[in-house]
């Protein structure tokens, strides 16, 4: 468990907080590229407890600013997007894509006031159909070369959700393999219907995996090792990329899956579900998404927005539970979100009773605590070195003979061995 002080340290992400300062050093997805068009309406974006505005200029460049006009604090999301700039509708101040104020029509002719004022603007990259932003201080790090950032858009399917919970609660769930065979029992039954009964069976056969952790320069590999009745080993190797990205192991014939959890503020978070194929377009049967998101045509911007909350127990269907549904919650990822929100907006981790099945969670917290403390002490942000490449980072779904070592199947090197826990 964490102390109250440690818990606050890694869940508080607002301006000036230690974790907030660290998180701003990483490239984060902010919105879809399709949400802004040249000379179209600016879009308000909230990240890490601060408000920003994004827009696409006349020439196609993307501007990403602090939301407040430097004059009187009016929202620039209300502004006019024209002539490669945003013009505030209050007094007509015009700000170009670089953040430079270029016109202040409310001031007398000949005033040089505009040249002295620049708004905070931030570097952006467009990849995977998303606009990524870097909100940090100092030298801008290399843009991460994840495989999904390099494939054609037709090879991608990205679905977003928003939850009323700390980013950490959902991120921890993404790297927790031990809950899959219990919480997601109905999804596993569906997997069996997809002719993947071997995966479904293996996850249900051993509900108490042994974790083996291998640390890397950016996070760690978390191998959940299950021993089968025939003595083979079923090993799910997740990848944790600090602070908020996880690569989730999948069956061979399904798209690869990455989960990105970005704080909106301390009590709300955005979740990007990134599905991609390395070498072919996405062409999934609609039922693939129905069991995971509750519909075969999920709202790409927030599939999780219509089932209520604690007042109606998130729409939990008790009648369905009587008839064999384990949770009574309508879809795989909704189950994860309901669990997270039921813990409260920010769970008090000093009250936990952790066991062996929580090994990945414990390691993630250690990584985060060390990373934020090191950054406070003047060290570079963890996992941001120029020699670090994410090009071959991938999760693994393995069936091995007893005695075989899952580590030799990894495409990325380890930093140090932590061993079985």
Give pLDDT tens digits for 228-253: 999 999 999 999 999 999 999 987 77
Asked if 171 and 258 sit in the same domain, the reply is yes
Q: How many residues make up the chain in this entry?
A: 421
Dihedral in degrees, nearest 10, Cα atoms 369, 371, 372, 373: 80
In a domain, 10, yes or no: no
Q: Which of 133, 163, 193 is the last residue of a domain?
A: 133
Asked if 153 and 112 sit in the same domain, the reply is no
The pair of three-digit structure tokens given for residue 45, joined into one six-digit string:
């974006």
In a domain, 19, yes or no: no
| Phi, psi of 223, deg, nearest 5 | -100, 115
Give the CATH number, domain containing residue 94.
2.102.10.10
Helix (H, G, I), strand (E, B) or coil at 205: helix
Q: If pLDDT is split at 50, 70 and 90, which confidence band does 157 have? A: very high
More confident site: 358 or 201: 358
Q: Mean pLDDT across the chain, nearest whole number?
A: 92
What's the confidence (pLDDT) of residue 414?
52
What's the confidence (pLDDT) of residue 197?
53
Q: 275: phi > 0 → left, psi -120 to 50 → alpha, else beta; which?
A: beta
Long-range contacts of the stretch 282-287 (C-beta < 8 A, 24+): 282/154, 282/155, 282/156, 282/157, 282/255, 284/157, 284/255
Q: What average pLDDT score do residues 355-380 get?
A: 97
What's the confidence (pLDDT) of residue 191?
64
Rounded distance between C-alpha atoms, residue 62 and residue 84, angstroms: 9
Q: If pLDDT is split at 50, 70 and 90, which confidence band does 195 have? A: very low
418 touches 215 (CB < 8 A): yes
How many CB atoms neighbour CB 7 within 10 A? 21
In 3-state terms the chain splits into helix, strand, coil percentages (rounded to 5) of 30, 25, 45
Report the number of distinct structural domains present in the chain: 2
Q: If pLDDT is split at 50, 70 and 90, which confidence band does 188 have? A: confident
In a domain, 18, yes or no: no
Asked if 110 and 183 sit in the same domain, the reply is no
Q: Which of 99, 133, 167 is the last residue of a domain?
A: 133
What's the confidence (pLDDT) of residue 69?
97
What's the confidence (pLDDT) of residue 206?
87
Q: What percent of the chain has pLDDT over 90?
A: 80
For the segment 294-344, what is each residue's pLDDT rounded down to a tens digit? 888 889 999 997 678 899 999 999 999 999 999 999 899 999 999 999 999
More confident site: 23 or 414: 23
**96 pLDDT more than 50:** yes
Asked if 349 and 208 sit in the same domain, the reply is yes
Report residue 248 CA to chain centroid gap: 12
Give the list of residues 6+ apart from residue 105 with CB closer than 8 angstroms, or none. 91, 92, 93, 94
Among 75, 99, 77, 95, which residue's Cα sits nearest to residue 86? 95
Which residue segment(s) compose the domain that 40 sits in?
28-133
383 touches 22 (CB < 8 A): no
Rounded distance between C-alpha atoms, residue 153 and residue 138, angstroms: 32
What's the confidence (pLDDT) of residue 165?
96
**420 pLDDT more than 60:** no
Asked if 342 and 308 sit in the same domain, the reply is yes
187 vs 125, 261, 293, 334, CA distance in Å? 35, 22, 11, 11
More confident site: 367 or 290: 367
pTM for this prediction: 0.93
Q: 43: phi > 0 → left, psi -120 to 50 → alpha, else beta; which?
A: beta
């Amino acid at each position: 468990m964490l102390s109250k002080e440690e818990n606050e340290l890694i869940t508080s992400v607002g301006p000036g907080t230690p974790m907030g300062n660290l998180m701003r050093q990483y490239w984060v997805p902010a919105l879809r590229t399709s949400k802004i068009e040249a000379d179209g309406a600016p879009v308000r974006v909230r990240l890490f407890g601060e408000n920003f505005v994004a827009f696409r200029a006349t020439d196609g460049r993307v501007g990403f600013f602090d939301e407040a006009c430097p004059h009187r604090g009016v929202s620039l999301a209300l502004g006019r997007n024209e002539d490669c700039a945003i013009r505030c509708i209050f007094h007509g101040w015009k700000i170009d894509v670089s953040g430079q104020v270029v016109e202040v029509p409310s001031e007398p002719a000949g005033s040089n006031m505009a040249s002295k004022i620049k708004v905070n603007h931030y570097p952006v990259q467009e990849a995977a159909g998303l606009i990524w932003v870097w909100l940090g201080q100092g030298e801008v790090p290399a843009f991460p070369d994840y495989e999904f950032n390099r494939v054609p858009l037709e090879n991608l399917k990205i679905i977003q959700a928003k939850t009323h919970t700390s980013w950490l609660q959902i991120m921890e769930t993404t790297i927790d393999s031990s809950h899959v065979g219990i919480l997601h029992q109905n999804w596993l039954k569906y997997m069996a219907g997809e002719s993947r009964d071997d995966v479904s069976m293996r996850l249900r056969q051993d509900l108490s995996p042994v974790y083996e952790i291998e640390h890397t320069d950016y996070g760690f590999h978390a191998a959940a090792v299950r021993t089968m009745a025939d003595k083979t080993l079923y090993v799910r190797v997740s990848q944790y990329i600090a602070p908020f990205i996880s690569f989730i192991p999948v069956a061979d014939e399904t798209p690869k899956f990455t989960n990105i959890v970005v704080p909106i503020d301390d009590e709300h978070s955005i979740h990007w579900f990134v599905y991609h194929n390395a070498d072919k377009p996405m062409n999934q049967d609609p039922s693939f998404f129905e069991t995971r998101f509750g519909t075969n045509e999920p709202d790409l911007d927030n599939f999780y927005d219509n089932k209520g909350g604690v007042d109606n127990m998130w729409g939990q269907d008790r009648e369905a539970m009587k008839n064999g549904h384990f949770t009574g919650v309508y879809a795989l990822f909704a189950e994860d979100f309901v669990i997270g929100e039921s813990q409260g907006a920010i769970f008090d981790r000093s009250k936990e009773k952790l066991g062996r099945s929580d090994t990945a969670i414990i390691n993630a917290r250690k990584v985060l605590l060390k990373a934020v403390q090191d950054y406070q002490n003047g060290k570079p942000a963890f996992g941001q070195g120029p020699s670090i490449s994410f090009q071959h980072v991938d999760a693994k779904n393995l069936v091995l003979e007893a005695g075989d070592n899952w580590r030799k199947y990894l495409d990325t090197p380890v930093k140090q061995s932590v061993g079985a826990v």
